[in-house]
Amino acid sequence: VAKEVAKLLELKAQLGGDEGKHKFVLKTPKGTRDYSPKQMAIRERVFNAIVACFKRHGAEVIDTPVFELKETLTGKYGEDSKLIYDLKDQGGELLSLRYDLTVPFARYLAMNKITNIKRYHIAKVYRRDNPAMTRGRYREFYQCDFDIAGQFDPMIPDAECLKIVHEILSDLQLGDFLVKVNDRRILDGMFAVCGVPDSKFRTICSSVDKLDKMPWEEVRSEMVGEKGLSPEAADRIGEYVQLHGGLDLIERLLQDPKLSQNKLAKEGLGDMKLLFEYLTLFGITGKISFDLSLARGLDYYTGVIFEAVLLQQENAHVEESVSVGSVAGGGRYDGLVGMFDPKGRKVPCVGVSIGIERIFSILEQRVEASEEKIRTTETQVLVASAQKKLLEERLKLVSELWDAGIKAEVLYKKNPKLLNQLQYCEETGIPLVAIVGEQELKDGVVKLRVVATREEVNVGRESLVEEIRMRTSRP
């Protein structure tokens, strides 16, 4: 026994010795995950709905590398820059993983001197953030971006971006939602008339951005305590940021004795009014709220900003287990392309980014709850045999079907049992079985079995492809 124990201890030391220093960890990196076939099936549904919408609006598609020169990303994200993943210096260029798709898009436009494009881009981005994976917050996650670049008449592309958010969130049936809209110029004008010094605009804007997560009192004490704003200025801001509404509020603020005197605020409010007129034509103002507390974190916005939030889950059970934040956001960034152009030439841009991971979390939980069975393959028919020694015949038939464009499988066994073959169809949702046997081969037919009904018919070999197509075409 002592000898056995010694042996085991030695083995243990080999496996987990040195306080696990050499222990091999079988996992994906922190904040990332694999997608299983079932998850991919759900993900593809979501992507299909989003791509269909982007294409409906006439967008082209581009792709950019997963990493950029480090300097391309420098100075674009403000405080968030610390979350950028850098690559190791292995000799050569200094590289970073992309943090969003907007900065690479602006780099692409400047590099190729493109002044006019409507494009979408669906790809993964990387942020060394604190992951909260149950709420759909990852370090590697997809963004689905749609942007319109070019010099156009005011607010028409901006309105289309909001229409797109509305279409996608409606299509995906995620429950009730609200799109909050504001304008950086209105915010800056508001800060000015409230007595915020110019130098504090961006940092006070960051504080306002926290209003969706903390109460006004806390935001106010951050402004006054940490950021040194006068209590009077903070209180004036407090009055504005609780306002939200529609055209009526815009009209009221256009008459506001202080705001209407500020050039930026006036411009922003004028454009906001125009935006709401277009949104009225699109019939979507019911879910849009002009909200003075919306600030958005990123530095590069220059005009309209917006963010879509889900209001509540249809299903009370789901609501408890997933708490989702914003599912889409975007805005106008007229200065970003100019930051890349050697001559500083500007290309006005407006765009929207759909946050797919949160949407995916909701849909995944919904599928789990509903016990809906999701197929992970599209196989139309399994080529099977009832007797032994028919592997060659099965391979010949499945090959014929593949060549005819039929989605078909065989089991990779020389002599599988018919029961196992039928079970495989039940498990994977294959609707038809094409059974070859001695008699069928002699008669030049194949026995076609409908898995759901167990109905069987003999089909002439020459009409098998047509029969399978007919029986598996979607209604």
Any contact of residue 408 with a copy of itself (CB under 8 A)? yes
Which one of 131, 136, 157, 330 is in contact with a copy of itself (CB under 8 A)?
157
Buried b (16+ CB within 10 A) or exposed e, 306-336: bbbbbeebeeeebeeebebbbbbbbbbbbbb
**Of 173, 399, 423, 439, the one binding a copy of itself by CB under 8 A:** 399
Q: Please say whether the dihedral angle defined by the alpha carbons of residues 132, 134, 140 and 144, taken in this order, is positive or negative.
A: negative
Known binding residue 127? Answer is yes
Q: Binding of a copy of itself at residue 271 (CB under 8 A)?
A: no
* 296 annotated to bind ligand: yes
**Site membership for a copy of itself, residue 179 (CB under 8 A):** no
Residue 18, annotated as binding a ligand:
no
In terms of Cβ atoms closer than 10 Å to its own Cβ (0-12, 13-18, 19+), residue 89 is exposed
The per-residue DSSP string of 246-278 comes to SHHHHHHHHT-TTGGG-HHHHHHHHHHHHHHHH
85 binds a copy of itself (CB under 8 A): yes
| Beta carbons within 10 angstroms of residue 182's beta carbon | 28
Q: CB of 405 within 8 A of CB of 398? A: no
Tell me, residue by residue from 121 to 150, as one string, x for binding to a copy of itself by CB under 8 A and - for no binding.
Answer: ---x-x-x-----------x-------x-x
Residue 203 is assigned to a ligand binding site: no
Binding residue (CB under 8 A) for a copy of itself from 378, 427, 455, 462 = 378
Report in angstroms how near the CB of residue 229 gets to a copy of itself at its nearest: 33
Instruction: Decide if residue 27 touches a copy of itself (CB under 8 A).
Output: yes
Considering the rule CB under 8 A, would residue 8 count as an interface residue with a copy of itself? Answer: no
* Amino acid at position 24, single letter: F
Using CB under 8 A, pick the residue from 18, 19, 29, 373 that binds a copy of itself: 29
Structure token digits, residue 410: 């065989």
156: contact with a copy of itself by CB under 8 A: yes
Near a copy of itself by CB under 8 A: residue from 7, 202, 263, 396: 396
Residue from the set 71, 239, 368, 438 that interacts with a copy of itself by CB under 8 A: 71
Beta-strand pair 117-126/140-149: antiparallel
* Near a copy of itself by CB under 8 A: residue from 8, 17, 36, 176: 36
> In the set 4, 14, 18, 58, which binds a copy of itself (CB under 8 A)?
58
Pair 149, 114: CB distance under 8 Å? yes
Span interacting with a copy of itself, options 104-112, 223-231, 454-462, 466-474, rule CB under 8 A = 104-112
- Assess 377 for contact with a copy of itself (CB under 8 A): yes
CA separation for the pair 418, 384 (Å, rounded) = 7
Given the complex with a copy of itself, which of 207 and 379 has the nearer CB atom? Answer: 379
102 annotated ligand binder: yes
What six digits make up the tokens of 284? 């979507």
Query: Within 13 Å, how many C-alpha atoms sit on residue 389's CB side?
Result: 2
Burial 121-133 (b: 16+ CB within 10 A, else e): bbbebbbbeebee
Under 8 Å between Cβ of 296 and 307: yes
First-to-final CA distance of the chain: 70
Q: Which of 45, 47, 49, 57 binds a copy of itself (CB under 8 A)?
A: 57
Q: Angle, nearest 10°, between helix axes 184-194 and 263-281?
A: 140
State the nearest-atom distance from the C-beta of 320 to a copy of itself, in Å.
27
By CB under 8 A, residue 18 contacts a copy of itself = no
> CA–CA separation, 227 vs 286, rounded Å?
37
Residues 191-250 that bind a copy of itself (CB under 8 A): none
Number of residues that bind a copy of itself (CB under 8 A): 89
Q: Which stretch binds a copy of itself (CB under 8 A): 38-46, 188-196, 244-252, 458-466?
A: 38-46
Binding site, residues? 100-102, 127, 143, 147, 296, 300-301
Binding site for L-histidine, residues? 100-102, 127, 143, 147, 296, 300-301
